Structure 1
Amino acid sequence: MYDGPILDDHLHLDPVNGRGVEAAADFADAGGTHLNVLNKPSWDLVGEVDDAEGFREAFELTIEVTERADDRLPGRAWPVLGVHPALVSQLVERGYEPEGAADLMKAGIDVAAGYVADGPALAIKSGRPHYEVDEAVWAASNSVMRHAFARAAEVGCAVQLHAEGGEDFTTVAEWAEAEGLARDRVVKHYAGGYLEGPLPSVIAHKDELERACGNDRPFLMETDFIDDPDRPGAVLGPKTVPRRTRWLAESGHEDALRRAHVETPASVYGVDTEATLSGDAR
């Protein structure tokens, strides 16, 4: 049976409206050890944002709750900071031109990159809308994403992508490489068990996890828990990744689990989940 680290690659903790650190405690109680904590959309945490300082306020809230979660885990919790791609639509509705919205979102990415460079944050979050938008908004969103790739290359970190569904993101991976970021440092969150281009952070549904375990490609596991009191347990609850890990171990997927919880986090984020679990690198 697999008895190593267990990482949820994409989970939200909302210290303003949600359960916050108590959700991390649930994860730990279920056997989880490590968390990548994504900031909630800025509008959920601080309301309307019109400058870089608004993003900074949202990021500081996420860093603080992540530090508290870190104290509740046998391993580590790391912040992953960035700008939710749906913000472009809100800004356009408020009167911004798409290019102006993109400029503001890029400023938020710059703030996130600064937190990576200075140490608190592990990676950057970016992407593009997962719903239909007009050509100008789509182009603006892609420019924000490419800016995130460029800044990640500068500060030496990975990028988690929030994007539309699908299995072929080869062009996106090529854009990352053009901006200086290796494609194996681009992670598509809420991915299925198979993906071309970036690495998949597989949503912890049993069928998709079985697909991911059925080949020898790198992958991660996530719940996309959103910590919303109006939607408890959405998208998946914080206990899900530990429970799915045990289920996969019982099915004989120990090698795949080591790939998801040890090898891929090391190659993508440069973290040692085994050493941090034992305390050697804390």
Structure 2
Amino acid sequence: MIDEETPVLDNHLHLDPDNHRGIDAVRDFARVGGTHLLVVNKPSWHLGVEAETGEDFREVFERTIEVVDEADEELEGRAWPVLGVHPGLVSRLVDERGFTPEDARDLMRAGIDAAAEYVESGDALALKSGRPHYEVDDAVWEASNAVMRHAFERGADLECAVQLHAEASEEMTEVAEWAEDAGLSRHKVVKHYAGGRLEGPIPSVMCDKGRLETAVERGEPFLMETDYIDDPDRPGAVLGPKTVPRRVAWLLENGHAEAVRNAHVETPDLVYGIDTEGTL
């Protein structure tokens, strides 16, 4: 059972009010005790945007901000947008649209710059970047790392966190060092879709019980997420919107109140500077 004074944050999910459940998914989350959301924009091409310039990403970012405003109305706490460029775009640009890796890099960095403007104005909380989680050739890998390092530079400029979509790994110390080289503290770098153990960035742990048990045992800062994608063709993917609250209840039933506070109060403050208790 979740106490009504316990914040419950899903650190990474997507909402698609135009093509699938949208706010209904938020209502499901809130109904079982969820209080706070970080809503990440969907990949641009999933919303029909085939960007040619950085400005073209604004349609995606502004629709995300709109749905976050709607989500706020349904939550005891609040929701925040996380905006950026999905790293898988590099393959779409190079393999399907004829871009060179260098031109793809430049377009994606321009998209990050556009997202950064929303963070600077206070309309978004953090940036999203990363690199492909699948095998690519050396030129695409180099371009992707350049995009990610640019996101770290912008995060440092704005003193905001950067969420990463990247390969499965328990060791990303080098990536955290790149952030520090850019002037961004490693605790402001978050690896989304993480396991319970990760060296380098803060892990945003996918909410299956095994990964959570590992994170609890480790005792280091961590976040919890579903990566719910709100896709009509994959209605349950990746995890449903009720999952984080249900896992919080499970952790509390098993005596892990300290870990719940770590993931839903202390780490959100450390990474994003947000007060999940004060916003309830």
State the match for 2:192 in structure 1.
Answer: 189
SS at match of 2:65: helix
Following TM superposition, by how much is the alpha carbon of 1:2 offset from its aligned partner in structure 2, in angstroms? 5.6
Alignment of 1:1-282 (within 5 A): 3=3, 4-93=6-95, 94-277=97-280
Report the Cα offset of residue 22 of structure 1.
1.2
**C-alpha distance in structure 1 between counterparts of 2:168 and 2:195, whole Å:** 9
Distance 2:18 2:52 in 1: 20
Distance in 1, Cα, partners of 2:259 & 2:181: 31
- Provide Cα deviations, 1:93-119, integer angstroms capped at 9, x if missing partner: 211110100000000000111000001
In structure 1, distance between residues paired with 2:2 and 2:235: 29
> 2 CA distance for matches of 1:76 and 1:149?
26
User: How many residues are treated as equivalent by the alignment?
Assistant: 277
- The root-mean-square deviation of aligned C-alpha atoms, in Å, is 0.8
What are the superposed Cα offsets for residues 48-78 of structure 1, whole Å, 9 maximum, x if unpaired?
Answer: 1111222001000100001100110000100
Could you tell me whether the CA contact under 8 Å between 1:218 and 1:260 is conserved in 2?
yes
Distance 1:26 1:229 in 2: 16
Unaligned runs of 5+ in 1: 278-282
Amino acid at match of 2:32: A
Between the aligned partners of 2:11 and 2:75, the Cα distance in structure 1 is 15
8 Å CA contact 1:2, 1:254 repeated in 2: no
Q: Secondary structure at the match of 1:214?
A: helix
CA distance in 2: counterparts of 1:218 and 1:176, whole angstroms: 18
Q: What secondary structure is seen at the aligned counterpart in 1 of 2:93?
A: helix
Letter in 1 for 2:172: F
Structure 2: which amino acid aligns with 1:76?
A: R
Structure 2, unpaired ranges of 5+: none
Q: For each residue in 1:182-211, what CA deviation from the matched residue of structure 2 results, as whole angstroms up to 9, or x when unmatched?
A: 001000000000000000000000000011
Are 2:2 and 2:33, in contact at CA under 8 Å, matched by a contact in 1?
no
Query: Does the aligned pair in 2 maintain the 1:85–1:162 contact within 8 Å?
Result: yes
Q: Aligned AA for 2:275?
A: D
Structure 2 counterpart of 1:210, one-letter code? E
CA distance in 1 between partners of 2:204 and 2:92 (Å): 26
